[in-house]
Structure 1
Amino acid sequence: MLVVVGILIFFVGLLFSIAWHELGHLATAKMFGVKVTEYMVGFGRTIWSRKKGETEYGIKAIPFGGYIRMIGMFPPKKDEAYGRTKSSSPFRAMIEDAREMSAEDVTPEDAHRQFYQRSPWKRIIVMLAGPVMNLILAIGIFSAILMGFGVSTPTLTVAEVSKCVLPADADTTKCPPGAEPSPAAAAGFKPGDKIVEFNGRHYSSWEDLRLAIRDSKGTVPVVVERGDQRVELTAELMQTERQKIDTPSETTRVGFLGLAPTSVMVKQDIGGVVETIGGFVGMTVQKVIQLPQRIPDLVSAILGGERHQDSPVGIVGASRLGGEVLATDQIGVDTRIVMMFQLLAGVNLSLFVFNMLPLLPLDGGHVAGAAWESIRRGLAKLVRRPDPGPFDTARLMPLAYAVSLVFIAFSLLVLVADIVNPVTLQ
């Protein structure tokens, strides 16, 4: 029951994120005098709508996105008004259909309120406003968590000593009969030991120590504080297969000791928040760039292979993770709530980065078109040539349709994987 409740709560959060995104487009479009006829969350058949002023607000049946409809997205042909000429070319037909749909809501009294008529910088603001709203929401959630609740930070104090060595893909934490003792267990480490020195060097953070352990091999001296005493231990590190730090789906041979640290919640200051969120943005950009590389893994997962923890997830997968977070009984209720908000912030960060890709029909594609128009007009003015006029993004519609088909295919692939072989917390 808690899983279902968690899924529903997180799903509502995702719908809010979509509505919040479209609100950015809506507010800035209206601010610059562009007529907006529709503001919709979802696609397909309309479930509920209400018209206020000149805009219809509503919810549609397929909750995988949203949109606002602005009149005059594309400029008319230079040699004609809003009519269309017959063409045998399928690409030309796509362009003319897009131009016709863009103009069908334009009435004589609204002819001056079309999107393409606004200056490039205004159009850039309108198209950036949606992704930026997602970024603002992500920053707000992350900041509240980091400054109010804190971030779990591992310390140099030992929480647990592995009794034996298990393979990286082991599905149990119990030691089988005859298993080899871990280097830490063989060296005599105990829970509560605070590591003072490792291989003759002092470390101030667990992360630095962990990297040092991974890069080490052979016999290594370790000094720990145990109660009021300093104890010198000698560990015989072994090499084992572990996940790579940058690409968890791959493994490499590293030094292994067999310790788990204790963790404390540390509240972050402004500098820590900026640094942490900057790291999240960089990691999200990297993940979005790597999406094409994840396709074979998704296909493999659908066919029964392993679904990696860093695998892409869609709305269904993210909602399912939210449900698992709420239902787990291994952590406190407050921590579960924080984890759900962290997951929602991560989704908003992904929406921001993804929509900034300079490809139509994404927001970044419209931004790129307006930016190119500004550059082209500036160059024409510099060399004293006639104003080339608005950049005709309608000519890029065949490419936009192709990109849309790729995105739809990828989304369906992720959806199937989320259903038949979902990413889980385990």
Structure 2
Amino acid sequence: MSPVLLFILGVVFVAIGIAVSIALHEVGHLLPAKLFKVRVTKYMIGFGPTLWSKRRGETEYGVKAIPLGGFVSMIGMYPPNKDDGTVRTSSTGMFQSLATDARSFAHEEVGPEDERRVFYRLPVWKKMIIMLGGPAVNLLIGVVLTAVLLMGFGVAAQTTTVANVSKCQVEAGQTIDPDSADCIPTPAAAAGLRPNDVITNFDGKAVTSWDELTGWIRASAGKQVSLTVQRDGASVATTVTPVLSARPVVGDDGRQAEDADGKLLYQDVGFLGIGAQTKLVQQPASEVLPMSGENIRLISGVILNLPARVAGVAEAAFSDEPRDPNGPISVVGVGRVAGEVAAMEEVPLMSRFGALIGLLAGLNFALAVFNLVPLLPLDGGHVAGALYEGARRQLAKLFGRPDPGAFDLAKMLPVTYVVAVLLMGMGALLIYADIVKPVNLFG
């Protein structure tokens, strides 16, 4: 299969995965709303003109032209005007007009028989369940996909089998012609090690993992030690003397660490000149939640620093600065990454498919965490409004005051529109950056 076709298949796979994730997110709002008898008038995937829709019962289900989200419409999202109980007011102020129009829209399909089926009349805990339903579904999808990745496909782990043997000792950033007189053989090459050798013993100690072997090699600079390998079914013994060499310091994220000034870090350790073969190792169920938690932690860190991260993307997009590989990307960037993964013919098919599953898991965690940001129009903004309503009702009860009633989120619409414009601007910037200067994850 050609790399171009593989690239397209990778993009299509993730695009379908994103669409399904968004659809299920909205189901997370739809089902509890119906459970609590709120009348749901629309369940839509996408925005803009409707491409297809069908009414079942009291709800219209459909797909719209712009596949960048979705929504569930419930009647009575905002309470009537507090002063006179109507959904309209005579005020002509801009902010008041926004609230009036929103109340009118929220109540335009409310009939006398729907008095107890409007959203604003729900207890606070029911409102929170409805609004948290979407992020909860994405969290669940992320955990399930993580389980599929870890328990079904496994994760790449280094083995004790040699993948390659470097011929020459090379300083960081240096290149040497292997056939030139400047080539000083690495200890592994001098000892006659070969690809596919399985290292079984180092300095009289049985080798059980590559990490263990790496630690012993790094601590043995300048010391001659015995080494035993399995080669073509036979045991071969030799000796090696690791040399002291500057090697990259690798951080917890698997990338080379940097100091405070952004300079790459190295350390002098013992070095043989061999690389390890990797294989997929299935993980136990006990690893699923820790891995999910770590994924959520990393995503939360990006979102907490989103303004600075987006500013960094803008600087990179309009200058010669490189993109931060750990920064935010748009759906265009996600599609490009998926296509590149799928087109890596040198990587086993199962590994590529597992990587795409992991990508979808991360996207669902990102959808969940981002939607919990306590700003309207995100789900977290509605949750914050419900919590505020509950708090002021409890305070009124505590001090013997009249029940203040439902909190009117329509008053927050100016903030909602500002946030929505900022989100659209951020999305446009990320798409532009992903086109003109995409993130380079694979070198």
TM-score range, shorter chain: 0.7 to 0.9
> Mean Cα displacement is larger for which, 314-323 or 47-56?
314-323
> Mean Cα displacement is larger for which, 145-154 or 349-358?
145-154
Report the alpha carbon displacement of residue 208 of structure 1 after superposing the two structures with TM.
Answer: 7.8
Query: 1:96, 1:166 → 2: CA distance?
Result: 70
Query: 2:220, 2:190 → 1: CA distance?
Result: 13
Aligned residue in 2 for 1:254: 266
Aligned residue in 2 for 1:417: 433
Query: 2:72, 2:6 → 1: CA distance?
Result: 35
Q: Deviations over 1:329-372 (max 9, x none)?
A: 11222322222222111111110111111111111111121122
- Alignment of 1:398 with 2:414, yes or no, is yes
Aligned residue in 1 for 2:354: 338
The one-letter amino acid paired with 1:312 is P
Q: How many residues align?
A: 419
Aligned residue in 1 for 2:336: 320
Aligned residue in 1 for 2:424: 408
Query: 1:128, 1:21 → 2: CA distance?
Result: 10
Report the alpha carbon displacement of residue 310 of structure 1 after superposing the two structures with TM.
Answer: 2.2
Match for 2:228 among 206, 226, 229?
A: 226
TM-score normalised per structure 1 = 0.85
Q: Deviations over 1:279-300 (max 9, x none)?
A: 2222222222233232243224
Which has the larger Rg?
2
Change in CA separation of 1:204 and 1:295 when aligned onto 2, cut-off 3 Å:
farther
Query: 1:217, 1:124 → 2: CA distance?
Result: 56
Report the alpha carbon displacement of residue 196 of structure 1 after superposing the two structures with TM.
Answer: 7.0
> Retained in 1: the 8 A contact 2:310–2:328?
no
> Retained in 1: the 8 A contact 2:170–2:176?
no
- Alignment of 1:361 with 2:369, yes or no, is no
Q: Which runs of 5+ in 2 are unaligned?
A: 230-234, 259-263
Query: 2:45, 2:35 → 1: CA distance?
Result: 21
The one-letter amino acid paired with 2:310 is I
Query: 2:200, 2:401 → 1: CA distance?
Result: 72
Aligned residue in 2 for 1:124: 128
Aligned residue in 1 for 2:87: 82
Query: 2:144, 2:177 → 1: CA distance?
Result: 41
Q: Secondary structure at the match of 1:237?
A: strand
The one-letter amino acid paired with 1:226 is T
Q: Secondary structure at the match of 2:47?
A: strand
Query: 1:325, 1:361 → 2: CA distance?
Result: 34
Q: Secondary structure at the match of 2:241?
A: strand
Change in CA separation of 1:267 and 1:362 when aligned onto 2, cut-off 3 Å:
same
> Retained in 2: the 8 A contact 1:197–1:222?
no
Query: Aligned-pair RMSD on alpha carbons?
Result: 3.5
- Alignment of 1:54 with 2:58, yes or no, is yes
1:162-177 paired onto structure 2 within 5 Å: 162=166, 163=168, 165=170
1:243-322 paired onto structure 2 within 5 Å: 244-245=251-252, 251=258, 252-255=264-267, 257=271, 260-303=275-318, 305-322=321-338
Q: Secondary structure at the match of 1:65?
A: strand
Aligned residue in 2 for 1:385: 401
- Alignment of 1:238 with 2:246, yes or no, is yes
Change in CA separation of 1:234 and 1:208 when aligned onto 2, cut-off 3 Å:
closer
Q: Which runs of 5+ in 1 are unaligned?
A: none
Q: Deviations over 1:87-142 (max 9, x none)?
A: 33x33333333333222232222232111111111111001110111111111111
TM-score normalised per structure 2 = 0.82
> Retained in 1: the 8 A contact 2:157–2:279?
yes
> Retained in 2: the 8 A contact 1:195–1:222?
no
Change in CA separation of 1:255 and 1:221 when aligned onto 2, cut-off 3 Å:
farther
> Retained in 2: the 8 A contact 1:166–1:175?
no
Change in CA separation of 1:263 and 1:239 when aligned onto 2, cut-off 3 Å:
closer
Change in CA separation of 1:328 and 1:239 when aligned onto 2, cut-off 3 Å:
closer
Query: 1:197, 1:290 → 2: CA distance?
Result: 46
Change in CA separation of 1:54 and 1:186 when aligned onto 2, cut-off 3 Å:
same
Report the alpha carbon displacement of residue 376 of structure 1 after superposing the two structures with TM.
Answer: 2.3
Aligned residue in 2 for 1:135: 139
> Mean Cα displacement is larger for which, 395-404 or 152-161?
152-161
Query: 2:215, 2:440 → 1: CA distance?
Result: 27
Match for 2:16 among 3, 12, 17?
A: 12
Change in CA separation of 1:288 and 1:181 when aligned onto 2, cut-off 3 Å:
farther
> Mean Cα displacement is larger for which, 408-417 or 377-386?
377-386
Query: 2:192, 2:391 → 1: CA distance?
Result: 65
Query: 2:437, 2:26 → 1: CA distance?
Result: 31
Q: Secondary structure at the match of 2:279?
A: strand
